[in-house]
């Protein structure tokens, strides 16, 4: 609590010159922005010389760039749950895309903020359960945002085209949840993928999907400001998940590239434009100095696009669906004027599980979980203040497709990383990430003591998470 007071005190000093006492006493607003399948190397601020992300680059220049930020899983749904709960997916039971849904008994960051008087809003791709009660998908169950603490929601269950999101595109990059066999111009998944506060959105949703989302975010923020209420907003874009489609104006910016790259880079630039729109609005409303904005991706780049050399994990091995760094290490930035020093970079280990304890501390609830309920994340407030403390425990990752017993786990310390093969009966790999961040030299045969120690730690996490998953933390 003392750290939060110090941070808020620093924030209020910056506010005092421009705001009255009533505004200065307001707690910070929080915005969690997340891209979908954006690789570590798919942004300008991480060195991509092709993609145009001027607003994200400006955000990185004005804030903190985290070069060693991890998702909780190498794919979407598990990571999204970790952002909301501060817990490993292996613990709350969402092990792959569309498997299960967010359990009501899990405490989310929206519920914690709501108890502290925050307006809470969710906008974009939910992917933690169906958002329509009549949906009957092969996996998962009905568990929409409004059952988990969000006052306002504008959400889809899963992917939509990133241009004209209600219509099957005529061109673009298909794959994953894409429906390449559907006739172009016909309704995408019934033509009403978005649900607004429990009701199907019937109005035409044309143009860039990131703009469609931001068109709902900004009014939510404006209403909170009018009501003089702090707010928490999750803004989870679909870009650049397949089907990746860019509008003509964005494709023209990459006219010298092939069609697939035009769509991919164009969609990212369109999303970046909306992030710029958000930053501009925070400044126009005069709330930028009491708003912390987090940006990241839900996992590494698409398998297909990474293998084609279109999407990039930067210098790291692997991609989405793999436990290598390319599947887990993602672009990450935090901007908070007056608190986070501009233009700073940190290689401290941090992860999506850290959002929950960080925000809980910010809103005044540093210990929101019941006794005995495990939070796997650690608060990043010290990191935001420029203090680099060693992470007190390793990071644990799990991924299970629930077909053919495919199973993968990883454990990351500051130096070493252990991988358990995703293939049935597979073995272990060990890497020294400080000496070999590209994971090219397997040390499992050379470092038997390190291997044995980390295998034991991984087994302990596996068992602890199994107990949580099976009900040890709450009654079903």
Helix or strand holding residue 344 (H, E): strand 344-346
Whether residue 243 has a cis bond before it, omega within 30° of 0: yes
Two structure tokens written together for 476: 């079903």
Write down the mean pLDDT value for the chain: 92
Q: What CATH superfamily classification does 2-384 receive?
A: Alkaline Phosphatase, subunit A (3.40.720.10)
Q: How many residues does the chain have?
A: 476
- Would you state the structure tokens that stand for residue 243, as one six-digit string? 């089907």
Where are any strands of DSSP class E within 404-461? 407-412, 416-420, 428-432
Compute the distance between CA of residue 343 and CA of residue 77 in angstroms, rounded to an integer. 31
What CATH number should be reported for the domain whose range is 395-472?
A: 3.30.1120.10
pLDDT of residue 4: 45
Contacts of 439 (CB under 8 A, 6+ apart): 316, 317, 318, 324, 325, 417, 429, 431, 433
pLDDT of residue 400: 84
**CATH 3.30.1120.10 boundaries in the chain:** 395-472
- Which pLDDT score is estimated for 177? 52
State the 10-residue block means of pLDDT for the chain, 476 residues long: 44 40 69 98 98 98 98 96 97 88 96 98 97 87 97 97 96 68 86 96 95 98 98 98 97 98 98 98 98 98 96 97 96 97 97 98 94 95 90 93 74 96 78 98 97 98 95 81
pTM of structure: 0.94
Give 103's Cβ-side CA count (13 Å radius): 20
User: CB within 8 A of 314, min separation 6: which ones?
Assistant: 39, 40, 41, 46, 47, 326
Domain with CATH 3.40.720.10 in the chain: 2-384
């Amino acid at each position: 609590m003392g750290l939060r007071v110090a941070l808020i005190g620093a924030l209020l000093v910056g506010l005092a010159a421009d705001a009255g006492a009533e505004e200065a006493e307001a707690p910070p607003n929080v915005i969690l922005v997340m891209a979908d399948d954006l690789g570590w190397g798919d942004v300008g601020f991480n060195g991509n010389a092709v993609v145009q992300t001027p607003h994200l680059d400006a955000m990185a220049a004005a804030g903190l760039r985290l070069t060693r930020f991890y998702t909780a899983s190498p794919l979407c749904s598990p990571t999204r749950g970790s952002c909301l709960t501060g817990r490993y997916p292996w613990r709350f039971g969402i092990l792959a895309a569309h498997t299960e849904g967010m359990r009501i008994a899990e405490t989310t960051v929206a519920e914690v903020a709501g108890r502290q008087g925050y307006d809470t809003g969710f906008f974009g791709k939910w992917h933690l359960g169906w958002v329509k009660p009549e949906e009957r998908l092969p996996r998962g169950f009905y568990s929409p945002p409004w059952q988990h603490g969000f006052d306002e929601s504008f959400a889809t269950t899963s992917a939509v085209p990133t241009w004209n999101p209600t219509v099957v595109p005529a061109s673009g990059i298909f794959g994953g949840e894409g429906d390449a066999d559907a006739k172009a111009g016909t309704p995408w998944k019934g033509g009403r993928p978005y649900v607004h506060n429990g009701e199907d959105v019937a109005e035409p949703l044309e143009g860039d999907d990131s703009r469609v989302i931001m068109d709902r975010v900004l009014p939510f923020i404006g209403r909170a400001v009018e009501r003089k209420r702090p707010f928490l907003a999750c803004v989870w874009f679909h870009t650049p998940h397949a089907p990746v489609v860019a509008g003509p104006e964005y494709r023209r910016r990459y006219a010298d590239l092939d069609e697939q790259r035009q769509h991919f880079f164009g969609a990212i630039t369109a999303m970046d434009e909306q992030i710029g729109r958000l930053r501009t609005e925070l400044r126009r409303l005069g709330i930028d100095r009491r708003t912390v904005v987090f940006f990241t991706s839900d996992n590494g780049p698409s398998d297909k696009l990474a293998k084609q050399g279109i999407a990039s994990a930067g210098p790291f091995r692997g991609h989405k669906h793999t436990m290598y760094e390319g599947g887990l290490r993602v672009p990450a930035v935090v901007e908070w004027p007056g608190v986070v020093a501009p233009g700073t970079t940190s290689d401290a280990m941090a992860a999506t599980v850290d959002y929950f304890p960080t925000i809980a501390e910010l809103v005044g609830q540093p210990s929101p979980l019941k006794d005995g309920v495990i939070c796997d994340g650690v608060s990043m407030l010290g990191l935001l203040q420029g203090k680099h403390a060693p992470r007190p425990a390793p990071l644990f990752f799990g991924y299970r497709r629930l077909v053919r017993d495919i199973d993968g786990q990883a454990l990351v310390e500051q130096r070493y990383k252990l991988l358990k093969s995703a293939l049935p009966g597979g073995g272990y790999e060990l890497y020294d990430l400080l000496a070999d961040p590209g994971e090219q030299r397997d040390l499992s045969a050379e470092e038997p003591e390190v291997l044995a120690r980390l295998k034991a730690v991984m087994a302990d996490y596996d068992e602890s998470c199994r107990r949580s998953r099976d009900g040890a933390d709450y009654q079903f």
